[in-house]
């Protein structure tokens, strides 16, 4: 099983990176092949709305998103992590999500084709400064729905709150919880 993590934070040593890597560590211990992509290292331009992708199923923008399309194609499961910025995903995560339009035909689009529904497993992870993990619940539910409309099999939306006072790597409770999320992603693929 191949699992790809996407870290949509500008901070390579930040909370989101630490959490995504813990999830991948848990998956790797269960035998998964894992890979992480740091958006801070990548040049991903915003969608140009040229609709070229609806003619021949590929995005014409020649940037690092082309590498991510390849990684997604070969993955069984994706883990997308973003810090909460102003109650939403980061700009980097949003640009990435918009660019998925080239590969996954969403059900809200007139160009939707059932056979293009990706049906890949997806875990969404948000980290936030505020300690109330329910503060942006409406947004998290909405975002889950958007990824489902894209055809992803959304396995969970995990919100890690309270990062303002205690960074993720100092939170002892998170070590096991995050690794367990990764390992269950693998075991659910091969149920006993
Ligand atoms: C521009 C900006 C906007 C933010 N907006 C929010 C917010 O709306 N709610 C919140 O709880 N935390 C907010 N935060 C805090 C981050 O979500 C939090 O520190 C997060 O864990 C950072 O992740 P990182 O370490 O992976 O970069 C914001 C931080 C920044 C830099």
The domain that holds 100 is classified in CATH as 3.40.50.360
Q: pTM of the entire structure?
A: 0.95
Residue of 17, 83, 126, 162 with the most ligand 1 atoms within 8 Å of its CB, for mutation: 83
Parent domain of 176: 2-39+55-187
CA of 129 to the centre of ligand 1 (A): 5
- How many domains is the chain partitioned into structurally? 1
pLDDT tens profile 114-140: 555 557 999 999 999 999 999 999 999
pLDDT tens profile 22-60: 999 999 999 999 999 999 999 999 999 999 998 888 999
| Residue 182 within any structural domain of the chain | yes
CA of 102 to the centre of ligand 1 (A): 29
Q: Which residues contact 92 (CB under 8 A, 6 or more apart)?
A: 8, 9, 10, 39, 40, 44, 82
């Amino acid at each position: 099983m191949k699992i790809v993590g996407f870290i949509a934070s500008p901070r390579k040593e930040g909370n989101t990176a630490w959490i995504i890597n813990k999830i991948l560590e848990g998956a790797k211990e269960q035998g998964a092949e894992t890979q992480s992509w740091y958006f801070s290292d990548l040049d991903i331009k915003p969608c140009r709305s040229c609709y070229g992708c609806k003619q021949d199923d590929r995005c014409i923008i020649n940037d690092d998103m082309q590498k991510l399309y390849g990684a997604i194609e070969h993955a069984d499961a994706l883990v997308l992590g973003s810090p909460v910025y102003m109650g939403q995903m980061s700009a980097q995560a949003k640009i990435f999500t918009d660019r998925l339009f080239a590969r996954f035909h969403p059900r809200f689009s007139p160009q939707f084709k059932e056979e293009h529904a990706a049906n890949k497993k997806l875990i969404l992870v948000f980290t936030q400064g505020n300690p109330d993990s329910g503060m942006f619940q409406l947004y998290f539910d909405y975002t889950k729905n958007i990824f489902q409309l894209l055809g992803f099999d959304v396995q969970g939306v995990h919100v890690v709150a309270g990062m303002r006072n205690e960074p993720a790597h100092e939170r002892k409770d998170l070590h096991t919880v995050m690794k367990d999320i990764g390992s269950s992603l693998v075991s659910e693929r091969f149920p006993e």
